[in-house]
């Protein structure tokens, strides 16, 4: 496996982020850890944008974001054109996010999901592929929305 996976969190997602990193390293993934690097209070938008930019620059093929709920960090990442961050706390949503929406970022909430399930969600997200076909048209419509509203 040579996929580079970007991983980032705020302080509320730091512990789960560390478990995700260890899990992915054990599975042979190369990890780009974009912080935070401790439990000191930080602002989740800063780390969401670091991860989103790393995907846009080709430094990572997919990303994983974690904050307390996953909501704020996913909202922030989705402000970056070309990023499709999906907040998932179950394996079905993680699979469909990749297969139907071509999501390139998985977001989770450390205060919402247990670490065992979180690792299964991560595996499902990373092992699923975009189906294309009829879903391609819909993803392209998302891209058109971004273009139309880029100066909002």
Active-site annotation holder among 23, 100, 135, 149: 100
Q: Is 67 a catalytic residue?
A: yes
Structure token digits, residue 131: 């189906």
Residue 101 known to bind ligand: yes
Residue 84 known to bind ligand: no
Handedness of CA 77, 118, 104, 143 (dihedral sign): negative
Active-site annotation holder among 67, 88, 135, 149: 67
Residue 69 known to bind ligand: yes
Residue 111 known to bind ligand: yes
Residue 31 known to bind ligand: no
Residue listed under structure tokens 């100066």: 151
Residue 11 known to bind ligand: yes
Q: Which residues, in sequence order, are bridge partners of residue 65?
A: 8, 107
Residue listed under structure tokens 């730091």: 14
Residue listed under structure tokens 């990303």: 63
Q: Is 88 a catalytic residue?
A: no
Residue 94, classed as helix, strand or coil, is helix
**Rounded to 5, what percent of the chain is helix, strand, coil?**
50, 15, 35
| 94 neighbors 124 (Cβ within 8 angstroms) | yes
Catalytic residue numbers?
67, 100
Q: Which residues are annotated as a binding site?
A: 10-11, 68-72, 101, 111, 134, 138
Q: Which residues are annotated as a binding site for D-ribulose 5-phosphate?
A: 10-11, 68-72, 101, 111, 134, 138
């Amino acid at each position: 496996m040579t996929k580079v996976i970007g991983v980032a969190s705020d302080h509320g997602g730091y512990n789960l982020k560390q478990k995700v990193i260890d899990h992915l390293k054990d599975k042979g993934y190369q990890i780009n850890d974009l912080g935070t690097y401790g439990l000191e209070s930080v602002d989740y938008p800063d780390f969401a944008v670091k991860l989103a930019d790393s995907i846009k620059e080709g430094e990572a093929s997919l990303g994983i974001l974690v904050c307390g709920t996953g909501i704020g960090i996913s909202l922030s990442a989705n402000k970056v054109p070309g990023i499709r961050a999906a907040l998932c706390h179950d394996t079905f949503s993680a699979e469909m996010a990749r297969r139907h929406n071509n999501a390139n970022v998985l977001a989770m909430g450390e205060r919402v999901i247990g670490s065992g399930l979180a690792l299964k969600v991560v595996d499902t997200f990373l092992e699923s592929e975009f189906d294309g076909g009829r879903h391609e048209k819909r993803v392209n419509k998302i891209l058109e929305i971004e273009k139309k509203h880029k100066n909002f």
